[in-house]
Amino acid sequence: MRPVLIRGLTAAAAASLVAGVGVFAATSASAAAGCRVDYSANQWSNGFTANVTVTNLGDPISTGWNVTWAFPGNQQVTQGWSASIAQSGANVTATNPSWSPSIGTNGSATFGFNGSYSGTNTAPSSFKLNGTACTGAPVTSSPTATSSPTSSPTSSPTASPTTSPTSSPTSSPTTSPGVRVDNPYAGAKGYVNPEWKAKADAEPGGSRVSNNPTAVWLDRIAAIEGTSDSSSNGSMGLADHLDTALAQGAGYIQLVIYDLPGRDCSALSSNGELGPNELPRYKSEYIDPIAAIEGNAKYKNLRIINIVEIDSLPNIVTNTGGQAGATAMCDTMKANDGYVQGVGYALNKLGALSNSYNYVDAAHHGWIGWDSNFGPVADIMLKAAQQSGSVNNVTGFITNTANYSALQEPYIQPTTTVGGQNIRQSKWLDWNQYSDELTFAQAFRTKLVSIGFNSNIGMLIDTSRNGWGGSARPTKASTSTDVNTYVNESRIDRRFHAGNWCNQAGAGLGERPKAAPAAGIDAYVWVKPPGESDGSSSLIPNDEGKGFDQMCDPTYTGNARNGNSMSGALPGAPISGAWFSAQFQQLMANAYPAL
């Protein structure tokens, strides 16, 4: 069973954690012969979020560890995760959670906390691991100042998109991946798919981003063994990718598990090869072979991250039973319980592997941000996890997969009022409780924990195409007193409608892959490889089961699901997953942070 870790605490619990507790003394914990600490912080006016990674450069520690330091100012820890944190005056001690007492030689442990301060927020100058000073390579860093009109000490701020990431899975030192960790992205180098890299490198300027880790999509049975055609999957199979990851010295690899029966019941461009009643085939010909390959002993030290079934479970809530987005296929998949049983089976088989980490797709704020969807989608996630035999088979959830929702909307939070009117009533927000992906992901995580998921679950956010940079990006709030005008002039997301999802014109690369960027967030990731099409602009016959969806046609004037808005799709797009050069060039041109 996966151990339970308190990643986030209520205000009352946080107060109990730090109030009146002295510094823990190093008792019988193993001695450390050397160490280094990476400390980074993102701050706002009177608060900050810090992430700490300690690397053991000495003998293995097996009976417990603690990291101690002294704040140079008046900083106070208010909330911690991945360690028990106590403070007395300026002195702080972070002690290992009960389930993780060991740090191997050259292994690492990562934890984080929120804090408050006034005046200056200078980073600690020195740290100790089990009483031994960490004097490895220079590792401490001053906090990175951030500025966001909507940030507050309780909103778990992240680094401002205007700053470069302070830590990236592509450059972090690889730890000991074979030991199960709370956050598989922390301290580990990500796998760079050589097939995607070759396509990116072939584009002018593509080498600027081609070394970022992206996910490998196993979107049909043939992708497991590999193909010899010219499709998006190229010729590499699952074992080929895993072997290449070992050769790269990667600490983790990301795989998209994506071939449910009746897949993507509310769309056509990404329909799959299996019919709605082919669950036995999904199990025996798709999941079982994947689990067998991932379970090969030679991959035991590789963290295998499975992104489980994009756009499946939320469809059962939002696109069934006569709702505006209902389809006959979604009704069928709800009736036969195929999505829940299929996801449950995948979680069970893949969750049994000691080095696997399962993240279930949880749509995005523009899909399930309304109260009528938010709770029911969380409930069906729990049902699928229980179908697997245990919620411990779920490491976390991912939002915004292959989508375009802005990471942060500094000027149009749902609490904003204009001319005495709340902007939730605007046509863009349409009474949604959320306006950006970070706020939504953190809130959805809290909801999932409250209904029965482990308190150590983490969230991923796909930032591969949600940057929305370029000249169209607002730099300040509108001065209009009309709700709709204010929102449309102030929003970072420049789509016609938040429900538009296919090859969006004007989109840009978002935050680069980055581990532990904010409270409750395991990583920003590029699960949808930039440059791979969402679907064809017109019907293109193919043998991959991928149809034509009008939402990918730039001339389409919309439907009830997108408020009868234009699709906003780019012209000339190939089938989903195929390389789309024009899109890739646009994403680089509109990247935010800029390249």
The binding site for substrate consists of 217, 219, 364, 367, 403, 501, 528, 532
Q: Which positions make up the binding site?
A: 217, 219, 364, 367, 403, 501, 528, 532
SS3 string, 394-448, reads CCEEEECCCCCCCCCCCCCCCCCEECCEEHHHCCCCCCCCCCCHHHHHHHHHHHH
The label of the residue with tokens 């991923």 reads 460
Q: Which residue out of 182, 522, 534, 553 is catalytically annotated?
A: 534
Q: Which residue out of 259, 311, 493, 553 is catalytically annotated?
A: 311
C-beta atoms surrounding 144 within 10 Å: 16
Round to whole Å and give the CA distance between 48 and 45.
8
Listed residue (28, 52, 8, 18) closest to 446, CA to CA: 8
Bridge pairing between strands 35-43 and 144-145: parallel
Active site includes 240? no
Q: Report residue 28 CA to chain centroid gap.
A: 38
In this structure, are residues 104 and 56 in contact, taking their beta carbons and an 8 Å threshold? yes
Q: Which residue out of 38, 182, 259, 264 is catalytically annotated?
A: 264
Active site includes 371? no
SS3 string, 453-508, reads CCCCCEEEEECCCCCCCCCCCCCCCCCCCCHHHHHHHHCCCCCCCCCCCCCECCCC
What is the per-residue burial (b if ≥16 Cβ within 10 Å, else e) of 220-232?
Answer: bbbbbeebeeebb
Write out the two tokens for 326.
Answer: 């209902």
Round to whole Å and give the CA distance between 41 and 437.
21
Active site includes 264? yes
Annotated catalytic sites, by residue?
A: 264, 311, 534
